[in-house]
Structure 1
Amino acid sequence: MLWSSRTIALLLVSFGLCSQLNAADEAGAKVLRGGAVAIDITPPNFPVSSAGSMTHRMADAAHDPLHARCLVIDNGETKIALVTCDSCMIPREIYDAAKQQASQATGIPTTNILCSATHTHTAVTATPTFQSLVQEDYIDFLAERIAAGVVQANKQLEPARIGWAVGSNPRQVFNRRWYLRPGSALSDPFDRGTDRVKMNPAANSKSLLQPVGPTDPEVPVLAVQAIDGRPLAVWANYSLHYVGGPPRNSLSADYFGEFARQFSGLVADPQAQPAFVAAMTNGTSGDINNINFFEGRAVQQPFEQIRLVAADVAGSAHVAYQRIEFQDWIPLKMQETEIELGVRRPDADELADANKLLDEAGPGPWKDRRLIYANETRDLAQYPATVKVKLQAIRIGGLGIVSSPCETFVETGLAIKKQSPLKPTFTIELANGYNGYLPTPDQHALGGYETWRAKSSYLAVDAEPKIRKTLLQLLHQVAQ
Structure 2
Amino acid sequence: MNRLLLACCFLVVSQIHAGDFRVGAAQVDITPKNGTPLGGYYKFRGSEGVLDPLYAKTMVFEKDGTHAVIVVLDLSGTVRPLVAEMRKVIQEQCGIEGDHVLISGTHTHSGPQQPRGSLMDDITKVNSPAGVSYISALPGLVAQSVKEAKAKLTPAKASVAVGKEDGISFNRRVLREGVKEAIWQPQKLNPATDKPAGPIDPDVGVVAFHGAGADAAPLASFLNFAMHPTSVGGGTKISADYPGVFTRLITERHGLGMISVFANGCCGNINHGDYITGKRRSTLELGTALADAADAAWSKLQPTTAYAPRVRSEQVTLQRRSYTPEQIAKAKDMAANMFTKNYGTVPMAETVCILETEEKKEKNIPLLAEVQVIALSDDLAIVALPGEIFVELGLALKKASPFKTTLIAELANGSIGYIPNRDAYPQGNYEVVSARNEAGSGEKLVEVALRLLSEVKKGK
TM-score by length of 1: 0.85
Amino acid at match of 1:367: N
Compared CA separation, residues 29 and 241, structure 1 to 2 (3 A):
same
Over residues 123-164 of structure 1, what are the superposed CA-to-partner deviations in whole Å (9 max), with x where a residue is unaligned? Answer: 001143742222222112112111111111011111211111
Q: Within the alignment, does 1:177 sit opposite 2:173 as a pair?
A: yes
1:478 matched residue in structure 2: 456
Give the stretch that moved more between structures: 383-392 or 429-438: 383-392
Please give the alpha-carbon distance, in whole angstroms, between the structure 2 residues aligned to 1:169 and 1:381.
41
Amino acid at match of 1:465: E
Match of 1:437 among 418, 424, 427: 418
Q: Within the alignment, does 1:244 sit opposite 2:231 as a pair?
A: yes
2:354 matched residue in structure 1: 377
1:396 matched residue in structure 2: 376
Please give the alpha-carbon distance, in whole angstroms, between the structure 2 residues aligned to 1:248 and 1:51.
11
Map 1:194-343 onto structure 2 (within 5 A): 195-205=180-190, 209-228=194-213, 229-246=216-233, 248-268=235-255, 270=256, 275-297=257-279, 305-326=282-303, 329-343=306-320
Compared CA separation, residues 148 and 353, structure 1 to 2 (3 A):
same
Compared CA separation, residues 162 and 338, structure 1 to 2 (3 A):
same
How far apart are 1:391 and its partner, in Å?
A: 1.0
Over residues 292-333 of structure 1, what are the superposed CA-to-partner deviations in whole Å (9 max), with x where a residue is unaligned? Answer: 2111116x7xxxx11111111011112212222345643421
SS at match of 2:56: strand
Please give the alpha-carbon distance, in whole angstroms, between the structure 2 residues aligned to 1:51 and 1:329.
37
SS at match of 1:61: coil
Over residues 87-114 of structure 1, what are the superposed CA-to-partner deviations in whole Å (9 max), with x where a residue is unaligned? Answer: 0122011111111111122222111111
CA contact (8 A) 1:264 1:276 kept: yes
Please give the alpha-carbon distance, in whole angstroms, between the structure 2 residues aligned to 1:352 and 1:310.
44
Map 1:27-106 onto structure 2 (within 5 A): 29-43=18-32, 45-106=33-94
2:5 matched residue in structure 1: none
Please give the alpha-carbon distance, in whole angstroms, between the structure 1 residues aligned to 2:217 and 2:102.
25
Over residues 332-351 of structure 1, what are the superposed CA-to-partner deviations in whole Å (9 max), with x where a residue is unaligned? Answer: 21101111111115443322
TM-score by length of 2: 0.88
How far apart are 1:165 and its partner, in Å?
A: 1.2
CA RMSD of aligned residues (A): 2.4
Give the stretch that moved more between structures: 200-209 or 119-128: 200-209
CA contact (8 A) 2:353 2:436 kept: no
2:342 matched residue in structure 1: 367
Consecutive aligned runs of 4 or more in structure 1 exceeding 6 Å deviation: 25-28
2:8 matched residue in structure 1: none
Structure 1, unpaired ranges of 5+: 1-21, 185-194
Please give the alpha-carbon distance, in whole angstroms, between the structure 1 residues aligned to 2:341 and 2:152.
49
1:126 matched residue in structure 2: 114
Compared CA separation, residues 163 and 92, structure 1 to 2 (3 A):
same
How far apart are 1:357 and its partner, in Å?
A: 4.3
Q: Within the alignment, does 1:164 sit opposite 2:153 as a pair?
A: no
SS at match of 1:170: coil
Amino acid at match of 2:188: A
Please give the alpha-carbon distance, in whole angstroms, between the structure 1 residues aligned to 2:367 and 2:425.
19
Amino acid at match of 1:133: K
SS at match of 1:349: helix
Please give the alpha-carbon distance, in whole angstroms, between the structure 1 residues aligned to 2:208 and 2:330.
53
Match of 1:426 among 393, 396, 407: 407
How far apart are 1:207 and its partner, in Å?
A: 7.6
1:147 matched residue in structure 2: 143
Please give the alpha-carbon distance, in whole angstroms, between the structure 2 residues aligned to 1:403 and 1:33.
22
Q: Within the alignment, does 1:407 sit opposite 2:388 as a pair?
A: yes
Please give the alpha-carbon distance, in whole angstroms, between the structure 2 residues aligned to 1:106 and 1:226.
23
Q: Within the alignment, does 1:466 sit opposite 2:453 as a pair?
A: no
Identity within the alignment, % = 27
Amino acid at match of 2:274: N
CA contact (8 A) 2:211 2:217 kept: yes
Amino acid at match of 2:239: S
SS at match of 1:415: helix
Please give the alpha-carbon distance, in whole angstroms, between the structure 1 residues aligned to 2:340 and 2:409.
33
Amino acid at match of 1:307: L
How far apart are 1:243 and its partner, in Å?
A: 3.9
Compared CA separation, residues 432 and 366, structure 1 to 2 (3 A):
farther
Structure 2, unpaired ranges of 5+: 1-10
Please give the alpha-carbon distance, in whole angstroms, between the structure 2 residues aligned to 1:72 and 1:366.
48
Over residues 178-223 of structure 1, what are the superposed CA-to-partner deviations in whole Å (9 max), with x where a residue is unaligned? Answer: 01243x6xxxxxxxxxx52111012245785100101110111111
Give the stretch that moved more between structures: 161-170 or 203-212: 203-212
Compared CA separation, residues 26 and 60, structure 1 to 2 (3 A):
closer
SS at match of 2:167: helix
Give the stretch that moved more between structures: 55-64 or 238-247: 238-247
SS at match of 2:83: helix
Give the stretch that moved more between structures: 28-37 or 437-446: 28-37
CA contact (8 A) 1:198 1:449 kept: no
Please give the alpha-carbon distance, in whole angstroms, between the structure 2 residues aligned to 1:26 and 1:319.
38
Over residues 13-40 of structure 1, what are the superposed CA-to-partner deviations in whole Å (9 max), with x where a residue is unaligned? Answer: xxxxxxxxx9xx9898531111001111
CA contact (8 A) 2:232 2:239 kept: no
Amino acid at match of 1:477: E
Please give the alpha-carbon distance, in whole angstroms, between the structure 2 residues aligned to 1:365 and 1:164.
52
Compared CA separation, residues 417 and 206, structure 1 to 2 (3 A):
closer
Compared CA separation, residues 344 and 329, structure 1 to 2 (3 A):
closer
How far apart are 1:440 and its partner, in Å?
A: 1.1
Over residues 356-402 of structure 1, what are the superposed CA-to-partner deviations in whole Å (9 max), with x where a residue is unaligned? Answer: 4455xx46154213763445533432123531121111111111211
Over residues 247-301 of structure 1, what are the superposed CA-to-partner deviations in whole Å (9 max), with x where a residue is unaligned? Answer: 6110100011111111111101x3xxxx310011100101111112111116x7x
CA contact (8 A) 1:346 1:380 kept: no
Please give the alpha-carbon distance, in whole angstroms, between the structure 2 residues aligned to 1:162 and 1:399.
10
Amino acid at match of 2:58: C
1:190 matched residue in structure 2: none
Over residues 402-455 of structure 1, what are the superposed CA-to-partner deviations in whole Å (9 max), with x where a residue is unaligned? Answer: 111010011111101111111111211000001111111111121121101x4x
Amino acid at match of 1:348: P
CA contact (8 A) 2:109 2:234 kept: no
Compared CA separation, residues 240 and 347, structure 1 to 2 (3 A):
same
